[in-house]
Amino acid sequence: MIYGLWGLIGAALALPASIYLLFPPRLRKREEWTEAADMGKLTAKTPTEVVFRQNRVDGWKITSERTTAWAIKISDTEVIALAPQCTHLGCAYHWDDGKRQFLCPCHTSTFSPDGKVLSGPAPRPLDRYEVKVENGKLLLGKVVESENAA
Amino acid sequence: MIRVVRHVIGWIEHRTGLETAIRSFLYEEVPASSGWQHVFGSVAMFLFMLQAFTGILLAFNYAPTPGEAYNSLRYIMTEVTGGRLIRQLHHWGASMMIVVVVLHMIQVFLFGAYKKPREATWMAGVALLLLTLAYGLTGYLLPWDNRAYWGTVVTTQIASKAPVLGPYLSRLLGGEGAIGVVTFARFYGMHVLLLPPITTLMIIAHLFLVRKHGIAPAPGDEAKPVKKFYPEQVYKDTVAIFVAFAILFVMAVAVHVPLERLADPTDTSYVPRPDWYFLFLFQTLKFFEGPLEVVGSIVLPTLAMLALILVPFLDRGRVRRVTERYAAFGVVFLALLGWGGLTGAAIMTTPKTAAVEIDFSAPTEWLQLSPEEMAGVGYFRKENCVSCHSVGDGGAKIGPDLANTAIRKSAAWMIAHFKRPATLVPGSMMPPIQLSDSQLNALAAFLLKLTPQNASALQAAPAFAVDGALIYQANRCGACHLVNSVGMKVGPPLNGIFRHRDKAWIARHFRDPQAVTPGTIMPRYAFSESDMDKICSYLLSLPD
């Protein structure tokens, strides 16, 4: 009886507490599309680093922050935008124009222009933003994690 | 397996003596007369640990600075899964703790258990009561809404009027000048950094003394066989703790703790009130005016506390049998009567809220609706549209989902459809809506606002605002006034009117505008009592 009652109290506290700590909060903002660049300013087949401001929901705050993306124009209506962090440990990588590949300075992972892993410890291709092209503008949505298909 | 466990236990026992310690704690002898009346101390300690637990959980999502505090608490209550439950457990747990601590004290008092050699135990207990009240006082500010802010203004003002110590106390509380970031940091620091370790030490001292002197035996106990703490008393304590917890849990689930407007130092219409357990002090204060005020605010409470601490020395009588302690019963009865009377008087004299209470821990998207759209909510409810249409909630009903923006039609289409549904949608089962054109306009305006994301939030608009907006529309107030950027600017815009006007003023102005604002071109409006209340409440709810 004593143990049973304490068990009930413990459960009635542990359950809400774990839900409180482990469940994701309800989202109050739906995802937005942010205008990142003019399609005309992107060069075909060569990645361009675009800098834009994006609203990020951060707990009880919504902050507008500077974000970058590597945009590669495939055609006038088709673009890929890569999230600027290496999929290994999150370092910022850069574009090596001579070798025509992305190079991460931390552990020398290299990626092809469309984000595939060429060498190094990166476990999967670079993550991509959701993209949309409207009226000649490149719109970016949220970052979607790439498949584990390295 | 059992051998391994025994071996591990033996190892620990040999190194730490833990098993012996637990055994001697559990098999402590308690007097034959101990029983249900002795459960309150354990319940109080359980509640203290529960407050610590829920407090830590809240701190994981709470930013202790003004402004941020409000937003993060709002985030806890509206977005974090289970956040409202944790907050309400903490809120109601605080109230319950006061109740239980006082019950514990009454029991000890009635049974005369503070008598020699247990004076120090009693005094440590009084210290714990004061600490419990200090949690209430400091925790009250932390939501940083209007209630918290104005309640604390009064607290710090009282402290600053203390004889001699006033200015120092005021500086210590950071309340010099105005309440701001410093006061907030001090109150938060006390609530989470200073009070918990002091309370823990005090509880240890209190328990040590209880164990040192044992539970006070009743006369005649000597003749009866002693009991063991475990299992008899532990069983009773556990049942009592469980009952207390069950009540608290139900309250935390069922009784809504609102969050008011963000603390607003310029809001002159706010009537501050302390939490219920301080109301009697608040009421006492009213009996003392001018230079005597300090008597009610400082001198009397201090004397009362001193008397409480000195109870073991004031009562030198030898009577210990609880049934013969008439004087003690008399004192408790008078104290409860006085407390109840003062609290009751304080509640009775609280004016029916001058300002409008909006619960900011519930969705507030409706605050952004124009009066016409808000009136649309009224027609939407009156026509009971949800009996045939789902609204973003995905329920399969006869009619289409009204929040589905993909099938959205223009206002003109909707109005034509409302009048003769089958004309535009052949085969439609919808009955024609019998409303005037302007009312249909309002309904269409509201429907155009609906999206799957805001549907439930918009429908949460409180009845007073919807009714108020219906009156606003019916009287065409928008022909002169601007609300949420809709209307005309002939008269003053009405957003944020709660900042400088109260309900009584607005009502007077409606009845006789010339008398209140000479030269105004606003006509008189003779609303009924209830309509007047609704339109005034609606206007006072309009955001800045």
Domains along chain A with CATH numbers: 28-144 (2.102.10.10)
Rounded-to-integer distance, Cα B148 and Cα B132, Å: 18
CB B337 within 8 A of CB B280: no
Q: Average model confidence (pLDDT) for chain B?
A: 89
Q: Identity (one letter) of the amino acid at B544? A: D
- Return the half-sphere exposure (C-beta side, CA atoms, 13 A cut-off) of residue B77: 24
Rounded-to-integer distance, Cα B178 and Cα B168, Å: 15
| Span B245-269, average pLDDT | 88
Q: Show Cβ contacts of residue B352 under 8 Å, excluding neighbours closer than 6 positions.
A: none
Q: Which of B353, B376, B359, B389 is nearest to B273 (CA)?
A: B353
Rounded-to-integer distance, Cα B252 and Cα A10, Å: 16
Q: What is the pLDDT, as a whole number, of residue B6?
A: 94
Q: Show Cβ contacts of residue B212 under 8 Å, excluding neighbours closer than 6 positions.
A: none
| Structure tokens given for A60 | 């009880």
Q: Which value does ipTM take for this structure?
A: 0.77
- A6 CB neighbours in chain B (<8 A) are 238
- A23 CB neighbours in chain B (<8 A) are 81-82
CB A92 within 8 A of CB A85: yes
What's the sign of the alpha-carbon dihedral B236, B238, B239, B243? positive
Question: Which of B89, B238, B249 to probe the A interface (max A CBs under 10 A)?
Answer: B238
Record: contact B50-A13, CB cut-off 8 A: yes
- A59 CB neighbours in chain B (<8 A) are 61, 72, 75
Rounded-to-integer distance, Cα B310 and Cα B288, Å: 26
- A62 CB neighbours in chain B (<8 A) are none
Tell me if chain A has a CB within 8 Å of the CB of B474: no
Q: Long-range CB contacts (< 8 A, 24+ apart) of B526-535? A: B527/B471, B531/B471, B532/B507, B533/B464, B533/B503, B534/B464, B534/B467, B534/B468, B534/B471, B535/B468, B535/B471, B535/B472, B535/B510
Record: contact A26-B83, CB cut-off 8 A: no
| Structure tokens given for A137 | 């503008």
Question: Which of B79, B144, B245, B364 to probe the A interface (max A CBs under 10 A)?
Answer: B79
| Span B35-60, average pLDDT | 96
Question: Which of A1, A15, A20 to probe the B interface (max B CBs under 10 A)?
Answer: A20
| Structure tokens given for B389 | 């249409």
Tell me if chain B has a CB within 8 Å of the CB of A74: no
Rounded-to-integer distance, Cα A124 and Cα A122, Å: 6
Tell me if chain B has a CB within 8 Å of the CB of A9: yes
Q: What is the pLDDT, as a whole number, of residue B394?
A: 67
Q: Which of B72, B234, B245 sits opposite A2 (nearest CB)?
A: B234
Among B75-79, B418-422, B499-503, whose mean pLDDT is lowest? Answer: B499-503
Q: Which of B394, B419, B392, B396 is nearest to B408 (CA)?
A: B392
Tell me if chain B has a CB within 8 Å of the CB of A24: yes
Query: Residues A77, A78, A79, CA angle at the centre, nearest 5°?
Result: 125
Q: How confident is the model at residue A30 (pLDDT cuts 50, 70, 90)?
A: low
Q: What is the pLDDT, as a whole number, of residue B455?
A: 81
Whether pLDDT at A77 is above 60: yes
Q: What is the pLDDT, as a whole number, of residue B352?
A: 64
| Span B143-150, average pLDDT | 90
Q: Identity (one letter) of the amino acid at B214? A: G
Tell me if chain A has a CB within 8 Å of the CB of B26: no
Q: Which of B53, B68, B80 sits opposite A13 (nearest CB)?
A: B53
Domains of chain B: 31-348 (1.20.810.10), 365-541 (1.10.760)
Record: contact B235-A8, CB cut-off 8 A: no
| Span B172-177, average pLDDT | 77
Tell me if chain A has a CB within 8 Å of the CB of B329: no
CB A99 within 8 A of CB A106: no
Q: How many C-beta neighbours within 10 Å does residue B244 have? A: 24
Q: What is the pLDDT, as a whole number, of residue A149?
A: 47
Q: Which of B163, B103, B156, B97 is nearest to B131 (CA)?
A: B97
Rounded-to-integer distance, Cα A87 and Cα A116, Å: 11
What's the sign of the alpha-carbon dihedral B363, B369, B371, B372? negative
Q: Which of B495, B452, B446, B485 is nearest to B466 (CA)?
A: B446
Q: How confident is the model at residue A59 (pLDDT cuts 50, 70, 90)?
A: confident
More confident residue, B431 or B57: B57
Q: What is the pLDDT, as a whole number, of residue A150?
A: 40
Record: contact B75-A59, CB cut-off 8 A: yes
Q: What is the pLDDT, as a whole number, of residue B220?
A: 81
| Span B379-387, average pLDDT | 87
